[in-house]
Amino acid sequence: MTYSQLSEASLDLRAPVFSRVRKGGWWVRILTLFGCDYICLSIAWLIAESYISFEDFPWYTSRSSLGMLITILPQIAVMVIQGLYQTGRKRYDYFNIIKSLAFAHGLLLLILLCAKPVQFDSPSSLLLPWLLSIAFVCAGRFVVNATLEYMRDHKLIGSHPVFVICDPKEQEQYANFIKKENCYTIVGFDGYQALDRYNRKATIEQLNQLEVSEIFISWNAIKNRMFLCWLFQAAGITIHILPTEIKQIHKDVELSNIGGMPCMTFHCPLITGKDFWIKRVFDFCFASLFIILTSPVYVAIALAIKLDSSGPVFYKQTRVGLHGQTFEVWKFRTMHPDADKMQKELEDLNENKDGILFKMKDDPRVTRVGKFLRCYSLDELPQIFNVLRGEMSLIGPRPLATRDVANFSERHFIRQEVLPGITGWWQVSGRSDIVDFDQVMRLDLHYIENWSLWLDINILFKTVAVVLRKQGAY
């Protein structure tokens, strides 16, 4: 598997043009806090060494730099896991610091008991280093915070450039709240139209030109399009949602306080775009292995189609995929060759309520072999090749025909911002039994907003169960 084969896939909502490191000066914060914590913990253990003996510590010898490093790094690692190096007030959560250091010293005690269960009989020897570590780390964090506040007040260090998207009438109100935080400089405002489907690209380009690493968005501007969090995160930008009301919470949201105002924050990962490439690697590996193992099934189905009716083995149909781009989706042919022409005559018999999708339980265009293939979704197998080509993913919203997309409302186009899939929440929740497209949209939105590799694997297993039960298949 080569990089070029993987990168054939068009980049969807989860991926930037190139994977990149999160924007902003977060690395300065991390290095400063790391250095401060390391110095404080070193001082704490050196003072403790003057009062107690560490001869029971197999890795620790007097004034040993390596021993000190081995002792301190696990404590810092626990603090990292507990979020004590994140932005905002989390890094000054002193109660969390006490818990983290208690846990880290408990781990050291456990290691010593396992290494020397008989010889080591002084668990209390870790009490003094723990108390000193708490005192020095909390004091160090306090000094760093006070120093930063002083430097910001006296304009000795720059503040973070931020951009605000809200109604023009709200600009002054939100600006006053943001300025209270004393660490932001507002470099621009824009209205709700900046988030419209045709303006998003220009908005991201503008933010890149302004070197913005954080953005504030009014809830009224984003309440019906929470998927945009992916878009800004893929560009390396942290998102703060300015409140009016809260209806839907994203899985990674954090409630924070900006200038005394409650705010929802969506932190950007350190390495953006990793979600897309994890999914792409998984799709490519799974699809390649699947084709190798099931090649005899493909041959058998092709022979059955040829013997049952005249016409080609495969059926190609133009579908609308990522970013509204069309592509040819491959399926085993399950209908008579003139099925597309017959559909116009059958439109009045469409069982879908809103007319966006075309569904009939007893479709006269389906062949005998086609009914069997549809019953077990075997007609979808050739779409594995669409996955290899990067036009589709294993899991995602189903790509719809141009006839269906032509009936979309504006809110439906979120489906086109991620790679379409062979199966998804819609398929494992009833498939053709769901005749309301708004319900289909809710299922697709749930998948987009809660995506993870484990969710994909879960849907794959559910798909197997649904297919074997022939649920909603016709």
Dihedral angle over CA of 408, 412, 416, 420, nearest 10: -100
Place of tokens 């300015």: 242
Residues 320 and 368 occupy one common structural domain: yes
Which one of 227, 245, 272 terminates a domain?
A: 272
Residues 207 and 219 occupy one common structural domain: yes
**Predicted TM-score (pTM) of this structure:** 0.55
Show the domain range for 123: 26-153
- List residues bridging with 130 in a β-sheet: none
Which one of 237, 272, 307 terminates a domain?
A: 272
Tell me the C-alpha distance between 124 and 134, whole Å.
16
Domain membership flag for residue 433: yes
Domain membership flag for residue 10: no
Burial code (b: 16+ CB inside 10 Å, e: under 16) for 241-257 equals bbeeeeeeebeebbebe
List the CATH number of the domain containing 264: 3.40.50.720
Residues 197 and 279 occupy one common structural domain: no
Place of tokens 């879908």: 352
Tell me the C-alpha distance between 224 and 469, whole Å.
35
* Structural contact between residues 417 and 323, judged by C-beta atoms closer than 8 angstroms: yes
Residues 296 and 267 occupy one common structural domain: no
* Structural contact between residues 184 and 178, judged by C-beta atoms closer than 8 angstroms: yes
Residues 136 and 193 occupy one common structural domain: no
Domain membership flag for residue 233: yes
3-class secondary-structure state, position 438: helix
333 φ/ψ angles, rounded to the nearest 5 degrees: -70, 125
Residues 279 and 258 occupy one common structural domain: no
Task: Render pLDDT for 287-326 as a digit per residue (tens, 0 to 9).
Answer: 999 999 999 999 999 999 888 888 888 888 889 888 888 8
Domain membership flag for residue 163: yes
Residues 205 and 216 occupy one common structural domain: yes
307 φ/ψ angles, rounded to the nearest 5 degrees: -75, -25
- Residue 306 tokens, joined: 């040829």
Residues 63 and 178 occupy one common structural domain: no
**What integer pLDDT is reported at residue 473 of this predicted model?**
56
**What integer pLDDT is reported at residue 189 of this predicted model?**
93
Q: Which residues lie closer than 8 Å to 207 by C-beta, 6 or more apart?
A: 163, 215, 235, 237
Express the helix, strand and coil content of the chain in percent, nearest 5 each: 55, 15, 35
**Nearest by Cα to 395 from 240, 467, 287, 257:** 287
Domain membership flag for residue 7: no
Which one of 87, 121, 153 terminates a domain?
A: 153
Task: Render pLDDT for 169-190 as a digit per residue (tens, 0 to 9).
Answer: 888 888 888 887 778 889 999 9
Residues 351 and 337 occupy one common structural domain: yes
Domain membership flag for residue 4: no
Q: Within the chain, how many helices (H) and strands (E) appear? A: 17, 13
Tell me the C-alpha distance between 278 and 300, whole Å.
33
Residues 429 and 287 occupy one common structural domain: yes
**What integer pLDDT is reported at residue 128 of this predicted model?**
82
3-class secondary-structure state, position 383: helix
Low-confidence ranges of the chain (pLDDT < 50): 117-120, 245-249, 474
Residues 374 and 425 occupy one common structural domain: yes
Domain count, the chain: 3
Domain membership flag for residue 171: yes
Residues 315 and 432 occupy one common structural domain: yes
Domain membership flag for residue 350: yes
